[in-house]
Structure 1
């Protein structure tokens, strides 16, 4: 079975930069006009979470730009053989060490700006490729005694799943926090190591899918214990084939999720794509579907994307964090100040981007 990591076609990378809006003031104006009509679906990618400290997959320092990068594929992770067990030891040790920074990441101003536009019904649905749960967390943190945003959480579709749940090969689901505790209990030495990393602030580079590259530290995976599914044991089955509820390379998106993503594109009047190169076809086909339906499409992303040059796509080449608060204020006018819920949202959000000195394109051990 041959499966490759999706990327941007070389012809696009080699082409002259696509014509796009690069001025922050013009970007604010164009986005305000586009979103102001309402009933907009928003498709987000890893670039939206960069200000929260979570690196993008691609871009200048993205993980997939490292020529040595070798991901684990779905069929490898779910292999019940000894070889599959070794793959799971590798995956779960890396994920065990890399999950806490994703778990503790906080929404940034872009997440709260989108939440505010959900609240005002300018945005109908958010389809996200991100597995960090930050769109949900922004709504949760926006809750007040006067407003419960639980209904809006239903309008967020996690296209590629979530890191915050784990399931076994027999379908049992467990909260990631609970499974993280099981990993700690089964690996006390690694627990001490993880606690030392957090205490000293020496956390290895965490990737967007919640794992870390540690081969260059000379660490072996062979002694890491992947606990068996507790629910399977209650049913008198021994099963240590577990994975997060994330779509891996070579794994199909569940039919219900795929159908819902297309339905959301069909329900909207316009599509805004943010912080993604659209390298994965599961996202790119949604943009194509919107174009086929003759719906206006705006693309907000820094750098080249798979959609560059497509007729019907207006591109804005600025970071979302530099414009989205002002976009909300421009659309809502005095309401952005007078509505206490919106005003509060527009004051919330961390800005803690990853260090620019940590560039993953430099050669390092595979991983």
Structure 2
């Protein structure tokens, strides 16, 4: 089996996106949104201001040249090799989870939530697995979170190979109990602030510690034990490289595009085909598409789409105010959303504030 990591293909000779001032960009994006019934597709770039690193920088290349993701078949392999892969994955994920767990939505998350709440963009599809779009929409009482489709799943849930599900906080506690030495290491890193670098999927790089993964214990599933089964094969509710998206999610993503009048794409290189095919579908149906991103993307070869080369965090609040008019200040929920959000990009990744995935 040969499975490759998605990359940005060689770009066409299409000319660069027109240079626009921030005010021109605000007006253009607002005009695009004003007719309403927009579906929004987001990538890792929208979470960079929350402190979650993007995979790729402004040039479309992986910012960590040593990035080596685990593939689905490796994680689920029941041989001794698969066990070793799971030890590697869950140790790194154990150390990286607190950084993801403790992040909070930034102004882009809240601004897009305001557009959903106001009915301008009733559907949002995200490639991100951090759950921040849901947390932003929590400010709107009664809003149905099923209007957010997590295309690649969520880090906040784990299930064993027999389908027993548990929330990630509980699973983290299981890992802590089984690995007291790593619990002590994680507590010390938290106390000193000397935390390992965390990727958007919660993975961390710890090779510099010179450690072996073989000592890490992945606990047995308690529900399986009650059924007289021994099973330590656990998987987070995310789509791994080499794994297919669940058919209901795939179908819903196409419906979300087909039922919209236009598609706004934010903070993504569209390197993964599951996202790129949604843009292609919108173009096939003759729907207007606007890409708001910094740096190259897979969509650059498609002549029908418009591009604006600006980080969403620089303009999105003003865009929403322009679209919603007096509602932006008079509606207490919308007003609170537009006042909310932290801006704290990773210290060593400030050059990639647009972020891409």
The TM-score with structure 1 as length reference comes to 0.93
The alpha-carbon distance between structure 1 residues 17 and 352, as it changes in their structure 2 partners (threshold 3 A), is farther
Q: Which piece of structure 1 moves more, 73-82 or 325-334?
A: 325-334
Q: Which runs of 5+ in 1 are unaligned?
A: 361-367
Alpha-carbon shift at residue 200 of structure 1 (Å):
0.8
Show the counterpart of 2:65.
Answer: 67
Q: CA deviation at 1:356?
A: 3.2
SS for the counterpart of 1:307 is helix
Offset, 1:58: 1.3
Q: How many residues align?
A: 352
Q: 1:84 to 1:359 in 2, by over 3 A?
A: farther
The residue that corresponds to 1:234 in the other structure is 226
1:2 alignment partner in structure 2: 2
Q: Could you say what secondary structure the match of 1:222 adopts?
A: helix
Show CA shifts across 1:47-68 (max 9, x none): 0000000011112498834433
Indicate the residue corresponding to 2:55 in structure 1. 57
In the TM superposition, what are the counterparts of 1:296-311 in structure 2 within 5 Å?
296-311=288-303
Kept after mapping to 2: 8 A contact 1:46/1:56: yes
CA contact (8 A) 1:43 1:272 kept: yes
Instruction: Check 1:68–1:17 CA distance in 2 against 1; reply closer, same or farther (3 A cut).
Output: farther
Contact 1:55 1:354 in 2 (8 A): yes
Looking at structure 2, the residues matched to 266 and 100 of structure 1 have their Cα atoms a distance apart, in angstroms, of: 37
Any conservation in 1 of the 2:8–2:60 contact (CA below 8 Å)?
Answer: no
The answer on whether the counterparts of 1:63 and 1:207 sit within 8 Å (CA) in structure 2 is no
Q: Do the aligned residues in 2 keep the contact of 1:23 with 1:318 (CA within 8 Å)?
A: no
Q: After TM superposition, give the deviation of residue 277 of structure 1 in Å.
A: 0.1
Identify the residue that residue 208 of structure 1 maps to in structure 2.
200
Name the residue aligned to 1:363.
none
Deviations along 1:18-38, whole A, 9 cap, x unmatched? 223442111100110011111
Deviation at 1:195, TM superposition (A): 0.7
Of 212, 228, 241, 1:220 maps to: 212
Rate the CA distance shift 1:106–1:306 in 2: closer, same or farther, 3 A. Answer: same
More displaced stretch, 335-344 vs 275-284: 335-344
The corresponding residue for 1:355 is 347
The C-alpha deviation readout for 1:90-110, integer Å capped at 9, x for no partner, is 000000000101011000000
Return the offset for 1:205. 0.7
Structure 1 SS opposite 2:173: helix
Matching of residues 131-142 of structure 1 within 5 Å = 131-140=129-138, 142=139
SS at match of 1:356: helix
Alignment of 1:47-196 (within 5 A): 47-60=45-58, 64-140=62-138, 142-143=139-140, 147-149=141-143, 151=144, 153-196=145-188
Matches within 5 A, 1:325-336: 325-336=317-328
Equivalent position SS for 1:41? strand
5+ long unaligned stretches in structure 2: 353-357
